[in-house]
Structure 1
């Protein structure tokens, strides 16, 4: 994920009442909680300072994550007559670096430089700069974008088994990451979901926080972690193959799954292997997979399997379930 960063009106109020970059510590505090976010400078300061000089304004840890500056364009007038210079500069940078599909946000006080209602812009009140409300919104948007990185390539479908079969041929081309597919044949609902686990000092703590946040839909209440009896077990084998086997079992081997027949069994294996490969490719660094075992004292699903996927200091939960 990339954050395009402005300075004036963002890292200090436009008045510079407390000096230049006076709110940089608050910004860096947020960045330390999102270690995978890279920073590209979009501020006009990039025309007056070299990239090494800009990095020197930041702490060493954050400065190392500043990878570039956006190109400087004189003017841009869109077809609808609007002036969205900074948006276009960002798009040019993304295209030049082959990262057009990358999730990104822009932290900026000048909304006119972006299209109306831009979902990528985190607007800052230039008279106040980076304050508490900005921090809350930035954290929300970074969490949202990070979730999209691992979840949004999958649309949600409510399909009968026969309609689901119609979409099988599309899996390899349009589904980059497994997000949430619900197959609803009769009264059975099959659920495939992937979520970012809360940040924590260990996988065990992250799982405890996740399960504690789940609502018992029959009683509209949550339950402490000890009621879930959570255990983890390392999986054996290469992560891609582990996930491919799990996905194949749940997509093609359940009672109400589409039936491919022996002569087309290879189609299902190719689909799930490609899904697993694309899923693993979304992560930075080594990927490990643990099966998450639980025996809750309250209703969860009729049958389920959970897997924790860890990479780059972050943890994710792949949930597969069936409910009558």
Structure 2
């Protein structure tokens, strides 16, 4: 499995969870910028987001975002995936139990193939006052040596 495979998986689930809703679902797995540590990499990502994604672009230093990453376990990753894969009313109609567990397990297996051996970190932040990031979101960072990725789930209108 590879990162592009994971991206395809996430794109399909974002479409399914955005269907029949006025919310835009964004499910992404992105490589974080090269940096000496995870905190710096996450800070560079939010600074870049403010400059390149939002309109109008803003220079918002990382310190204003109050980004924090704490180690987490696979159970946390599984719970986050379960919540986001079945977040829309459309996907909540999926049969509970085995079907949902298998879908989450298949995605986690693809992540293991792409990022196996990486440590997991739950990422929290408080965007700067007056700045819009999303209605709600969850993010998990993956780190192994100098290689880092961010798994991002969000809903926006």
1:11-160 equivalences under 5 Å are: 149-151=2-4, 154-155=7-8
Supply the RMSD in Å over aligned alpha carbons. 2.2
Separation in 1, partners of 2:70, 2:34: 20
Q: Across the two proteins, how many residue pairs are aligned to each other? A: 149
Matched with 1:115 is none
Residues of 2 paired with 1:275 and 1:288: CA distance? 17
User: What residue is the counterpart of 1:269 in the other structure?
Assistant: 101
Provide the secondary structure at the position in 2 that maps to 1:226: helix
**Counterparts of 2:153 and 2:132, CA distance in 1:** 15
Aligned equivalent of 1:242: 76
Name the counterpart of 2:35. 200
5+ long unaligned stretches in structure 2: none
| CA-CA distance at 1:186 after TM superposition | 2.9
Query: d(CA) in 1 for partners of 2:69 and 2:6?
Result: 28
TM-score (norm 1): 0.42
Cα pair 1:197 1:315 within 8 Å, conserved: yes
| Correspondence list, 1:179-190, <5 A | 181-182=14-15, 183-184=17-18, 185-190=20-25
Structure 1's 313 and 218: CA in aligned 2 closer, same or farther, altered over 3 A? closer
Match of 2:85 among 234, 251, 268: 251
Tell which has more relative contact order, 1 or 2 (C-alpha 8 A, sep 6+).
2
Give the superposition deviation at 1:152.
Answer: 5.0
Larger radius of gyration: 1
Q: Provide the residue aligned with 2:139 in structure 1.
A: 306
**Residues 191-242 of structure 1, C-alpha deviations (whole Å, 9 max, x = no match):** 110100011111011111111100362423242101211111211x3x3x43
Distance in 2 between residues matched to 1:301 and 1:247, nearest whole Å = 18
Q: TM (normalized to structure 2)?
A: 0.82
Contact between 1:218 and 1:299, CA under 8 Å: does it hold in 2? no
Which of 107, 120, 136 matches 1:289? 120
| Structure number having the greater helix percentage | 2
Distance 2:90 2:64 in 1: 32
